[in-house]
Amino acid sequence: MEQIEIGASGLKTSRIGLGTWAIGGWMWGGSDENDAIATIRSAVERGITLIDTAPVYGFGHAEEIVGKALAGGLRDKVQIATKVGLAWKDGKVFRDSRPARLRQEIEDSLRRLKTDAIDLYQVHWPDLETPFEDTARVLAELKREGKIRAVGVSNYAPAQMDAFRAVTQLDAVQPPYNLFEREIEADVLPYAARTGLTVLSYGALCRGLLSGRMTATTTFEGDDLRKVDPKFTAPRFPHYLKAVEELKALAAARYGKSVLALALRWVLDQGPTIALWGARHPGQLDPVGEVDGFHIDADTKAEIDAILTRTVTAPISPAFMAPPVKRPPEAA
């Protein structure tokens, strides 16, 4: 599997990473722990060496599952990327990157993950009520203490990253990025290329839409966030399904590949990128071998753009997933 260095950290990892938001269960209709553990171990067996998680994924559950899955010898074979800076109360999430909160979170994450150091520690969302410099300073201290090996941010704009980088070395940025959600091409992607950051693209399959498995009769249960994602509801869902069908035909005709492989390869061909792929069952990782061994040529990229222009006339931003900007009064 292709490898990449995370910024200038010296850490090398696979360019496909396993995302564990769905494994945590929260906002995905639940998860089976045994299946989740088997999925993580299967990912490592297939050559995936980056496991991306976060405390808020299942309110600690995803990190606990990752810790259990990697126990017994697998920890040294992977790089763990987790996050910091989101707190929760009564199931409601809010941003909190104050120094005391960061100090509490690192200890909680190390305990849940059953490790003495986190390879890539990322601020999950920019906390606009805490100076970025204060947040960066704590992460710099954690790095000096040996509790983290590299620093990243997620969902940050270039100006916010500039403020962060004035205090400590930044090696990675994690934004939403896939064939359907391409806002970062205007700012974050060129910024990363210019400053040497590695881009961890979350939602590389657009919450399963680009897996090629969904149809007009697909439904979502429980607290699954796709029940409120405009891409998966009328009137937009049919437009996106039409795009996937055309992309599926293009992938088969040009490369003999699935639409899933085309979508992941497209992300990997955009620059210094890692594609984060969420899975809850080992079998969902079966197509991983399709991603290597080809690149998307300029003519095919142009045809992909033409398909999207023709079928998705009103693209939906992933901004609906953002947590509230202000902390609730009781968290002040």
Q: What is the DSSP string of 193-211?
A: HHHT-EEEEBTTTTTTGGG
CATH architecture of 3-207+261-293: Alpha-Beta Barrel (3.20)
Q: What is the pLDDT of residue 330?
A: 81
Packing angle of the helix pair 132-144, 99-113 (nearest 10 deg): 40
Alpha carbon distance 197, 171 (integer Å) = 5
Q: What is the pLDDT of residue 210?
A: 97
Alpha helices in 46-144 (DSSP H): 61-70, 99-113, 132-144
Omega into 235 within 30° of 0, i.e. cis? yes
CA nearest neighbour of 287 among 35, 48, 6: 48
Q: What is the pLDDT of residue 25?
A: 65
Q: What is the pLDDT of residue 320?
A: 83
CA nearest neighbour of 178 among 275, 316, 45: 275
Active-site residue, 57 included: yes
Q: In sequence order, which residues have a C-beta less than 8 Å from that of residue 130 and are 6 or more positions away?
A: 96, 97, 98
Q: What is the pLDDT of residue 26?
A: 59
Q: What is the pLDDT of residue 30?
A: 66
Query: pTM for the full model?
Result: 0.96
Would you give the end-to-end CA distance of the chain in angstroms? 46
Residues of the chain with pLDDT under 70: 25-30, 332
Q: What's the pLDDT tens digit per position in 170-208? A: 999 999 999 999 999 999 999 999 999 999 999 999 999
